[in-house]
């Protein structure tokens, strides 16, 4: 596979990005494209490693290791190296319904478990994946493929995020009549409104795939909230099976003094209206939270926190800081984080890079705890009080860290965005469909769904994605949607040929 001396001859390369101070002036995707020759060179670095771990799709230390949809990575890397792009596309679509999504927003656990990554920079897997599907669309190879015959069975899919779309695509491929319900005014769920446009273009990328699914026979009903506009009983009476793929949408709060002040928002209450306004009116309707000329503080890291940074910069914020309660990660793997685990190392994402270019330094403050929101005297937030914490000194019977005496600080804040993760799904649809809910610690909950069966206490109802497994990656959601579709097909037909 690849060139026998590939990684010895060639170094890892990734596509260049547009210059940070220029790209914050618009909402367009910022990754440049690599040439075909450069891509084939990168494919050559994927040599025959004996036992590839890149496609294993497992959990190690509670983090993804390898590709959760089991992409046939060595195969399509080799095909790209040999210039056989159409065959590479066919291999890619065998396991992944939406490589144009994962190739843009997935953190690439495949690269974290690449065998070459033991002692060298790993193969550039994510970029090659994205290039294969983009090239396929450019060449007209990606076309609608409706099923040759229908089974007469009907399935309702609740939620049009990556899990719901993957389930719909697979069930439609099996010949079932699939209707997808989405409570937002546009189809796409997390892909449409949860991820900013500069990471995943809505009209050029997301809508393109939605239209393709429509051509293949999937019916989409936007603006319909199951549990309110349509009852669970109606779904059960009108469809032969139901798949719940509603995501994990209940945000984690920060109940400290001053939380009631104006100007403190959950991250998604900032990101979702912004993208909607961008698509509706290019932000001319004013129906979004505007960070222009504001002191912005983002509490919480991860993709959501980083997206708040990038969005605030594009609005033209006055200052920007990002609090993370965890210590700053190391530059390289530590002994307790061996390959092929996901490498827990210090990374600079697009929002961090842009903030550093705009304000002269990385916006992140590590090992810091927010203790109070400060009132401006009129019910608005004007500042945040914090204290540094020491993770080497846990409190007996309490927190795994302790405050550092004398480290209190105050940061100006006109807008605060809470990016602290999600506690689980909202429950009206599940309750009406008779689906049991599992309760966890700290207010977390999930829909009851048997492992790898996706079945619930109601034999007609299946669950998939973040609502079943908890907040996770887009690629895990696709994995779950495909798995749920397979089990629904088995339930409806007695057997299945879906992977």
Same domain, 208 and 335: no
Q: What is the pLDDT of residue 427?
A: 82
Q: What is the pLDDT of residue 450?
A: 84
Q: What is the CATH number of the domain that holds 199?
A: 3.50.50.60
Which structure tokens are listed for 392? 């080497």
Residue 1 domain-assigned (yes or no): no
pLDDT tens-digit profile, the chain (499 residues): 678 888 989 999 999 999 999 999 999 999 988 999 999 999 999 987 888 999 888 899 888 899 999 999 999 999 999 999 999 999 999 999 999 999 999 999 999 999 999 989 999 999 999 999 999 999 999 999 999 999 999 999 999 999 999 999 999 999 999 999 999 999 999 999 999 999 999 999 999 999 999 999 999 999 999 999 999 999 999 999 999 999 999 999 999 999 999 999 999 999 999 999 999 999 999 999 999 999 999 999 999 999 999 999 999 999 999 999 999 999 999 999 999 999 999 999 999 999 999 999 999 999 999 999 999 999 999 999 999 999 999 999 899 999 999 999 999 999 999 999 999 999 888 989 999 999 998 889 999 988 889 999 999 999 999 999 999 999 999 999 999 999 999 999 999 999 9
| Domain termination residue (choose one: 69, 104, 138) | 138
Q: What's the pLDDT score for residue 54?
A: 95
Q: Does 148 map to a domain? A: no
How confident is the model at residue 347, as a pLDDT? 96
Same-domain check for residues 108 and 19: yes
Note whether residue 188 is domain-resident. yes
Number of domains in the chain: 3
Domain shared by 118 and 237, yes or no: no
Question: In sequence order, what DSSP letters do the residues of 26-49 get, joined into one string?
Answer: S-S--BPPPPHHHHHHHHHT----
Q: What is the CA radius of gyration of the chain?
A: 23
Query: How many Å apart are CA 480 and CA 459, to the nearest integer?
Result: 18
Question: 114 near 137, Cβ under 8 Å?
Answer: no
Q: How far apart, in Å, do the first and last CA atoms of the chain sit?
A: 25
- Residues 389, 265 share a domain: yes
Burial 233-250 (b: 16+ CB within 10 A, else e): eebbeebbbbbbbbbbbb
Can you tell me which residue has the tokens 């908890």?
A: 470
Residues 361 and 307 in one domain: yes
**pTM higher than 0.85 for the full model?**
yes
Say if residue 340 is preceded by a cis peptide, omega within 30 of 0. Answer: yes
Question: What domain range is 179 assigned to?
Answer: 154-250+423-493
**108 and 161, same domain (yes or no):** no
DSSP track, 398-460: S-SSEE-TT--EEEE-SEEEE---EEE---HHHHHTT--EEE-GGG-EEE---TTT-B-SSTT
SS3 assignment, position 320 = strand
| pLDDT on residue 456 | 95
Q: % helix / strand / coil in the chain, to the nearest 5?
A: 35, 20, 45
CATH number for position 87: 1.10.1060.10
Q: What are the strands, taking DSSP E only, across 223-313? A: 241-244, 250-251, 264-266, 295-299
* pLDDT value for 469: 92
Of 183, 184, 219, give the one whose Cα is nearest residue 429: 183
Could you tell me if residue 467 is inside a domain?
yes
CA-closest candidate to residue 471, choices 268, 273, 334: 268
Domain-located, residue 146: no
Query: Is 340 in the same domain as 456?
Result: no
- The helix/strand/coil state of 202 is helix
For position 126, what pLDDT does the model report?
97
| Three-state DSSP class for residue 289 | coil
Neighbours of 143 (CB within 10 A): 10
Same domain? 61 vs 178:
no
**For residue 471, is it within any domain?**
yes
Residue 397 neighbours by CB under 8 Å, 6+ apart: none
Q: How far apart are CA 78 and CA 43, in angstroms?
A: 6
- DSSP structure class, residue 203: I
Same domain, 174 and 88: no
Of 138, 167, 186, the residue that ends a domain is: 138
What's the rounded Cα separation, in Å, for the pair 378 and 262?
9
User: 112 with 188, same domain?
Assistant: no
291 and 395 together in one domain: yes
Q: Which of 373, 394, 420 is the last residue of a domain?
A: 420
- Phi and psi at 219, nearest 5°, equal -100, 130
User: Rounded to 5 degrees, what angle do the CA atoms 443, 449, 451 make?
Assistant: 110
pLDDT of residue 306: 98
Length of the chain: 499
Question: Is there a domain that residue 396 lies in?
Answer: yes
Q: Which of 230, 208, 221, 227 is nearest to 182 (CA)?
A: 221
Residues 278 and 202 in one domain: no
Residue 498 forms part of a structural domain: no
Distance CA 186, CA 166 (A): 17
CB 29 within 8 A of CB 199: yes
């Amino acid at each position: 596979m690849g060139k026998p001396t590939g990684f010895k001859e060639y170094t890892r390369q990734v596509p260049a990005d547009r210059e940070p101070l220029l790209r914050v002036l618009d909402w367009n995707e910022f990754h440049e494209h690599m040439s075909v020759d450069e891509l084939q060179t990168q494919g050559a670095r994927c040599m025959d490693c004996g036992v590839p771990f890149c496609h294993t799709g497992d959990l190690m230390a509670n983090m993804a290791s390898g590709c959760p949809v089991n992409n046939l990575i060595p195969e399509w890397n080799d095909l790209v190296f040999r210039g056989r792009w159409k065959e590479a596309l066919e291999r890619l679509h065998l396991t992944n319904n939406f490589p144009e999504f994962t190739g843009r927003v997935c953190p690439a656990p495949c690269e974290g478990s690449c065998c070459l990554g033991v002692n060298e920079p790993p193969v550039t897997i994510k970029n090659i994946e994205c290039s294969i599907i983009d090239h396929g669309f450019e060449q007209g190879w990606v076309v609608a493929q409706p099923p040759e015959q229908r089974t007469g069975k009907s399935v309702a899919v609740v939620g049009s995020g990556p899990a719901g779309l993957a389930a719909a695509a697979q069930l439609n491929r099996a010949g079932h009549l699939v209707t997808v319900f989405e409570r937002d005014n546009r189809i796409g769920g997390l892909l449409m409104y949860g991820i900013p446009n500069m990471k995943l273009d809505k009209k050029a990328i997301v809508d393109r795939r939605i239209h393709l699914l429509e051509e293949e026979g999937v019916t989409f009903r936007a603006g319909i909230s199951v549990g309110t506009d349509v009852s669970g009983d109606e779904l059960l009476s009108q469809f032969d099976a139901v798949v719940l793929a509603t995501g994990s949408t209940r945000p984690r709060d920060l109940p400290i003094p001053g939380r009631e002040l104006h100007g403190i928002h959950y991250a998604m209450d900032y990101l979702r209206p912004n993208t909607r306004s961008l698509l509706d009116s290019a932000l001319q309707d004013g129906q979004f939270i505007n960070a222009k000329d504001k002191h912005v503080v983002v509490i919480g890291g991860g993709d959501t926190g980083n997206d708040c940074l990038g969005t605030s910069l594009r609005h033209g914020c006055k200052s920007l800081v990002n609090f993370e309660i965890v210590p700053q990660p190391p530059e390289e793997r530590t002994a307790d984080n061996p390959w092929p685990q996901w490498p827990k190392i210090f990374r600079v994402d697009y929002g961090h890079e842009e903030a550093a270019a705009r304000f002269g330094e990385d916006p992140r403050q590590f090992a810091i705890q927010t203790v109070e929101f400060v009132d401006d005297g009129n019910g608005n937030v004007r500042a945040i009080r914090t204290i540094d914490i020491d993770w080497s000194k846990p409190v007996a019977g309490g927190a795994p860290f302790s405050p550092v005496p004398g480290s209190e600080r105050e940061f100006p804040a006109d807008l605060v965005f809470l990016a602290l993760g999600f506690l689980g799904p909202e429950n009206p649809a599940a309750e009406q469909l008779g689906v049991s809910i599992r309760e966890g610690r700290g207010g977390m909950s999930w829909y009851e769904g048997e492992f790898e069966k996706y079945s619930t206490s109601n034999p007609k109802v299946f669950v998939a994605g973040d609502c079943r497994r908890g907040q996770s990656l887009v690629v895990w959601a696709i994995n779950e949607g495909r798995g749920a579709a397979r089990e629904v097909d088995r339930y409806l037909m007695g057997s299945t040929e879906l992977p």
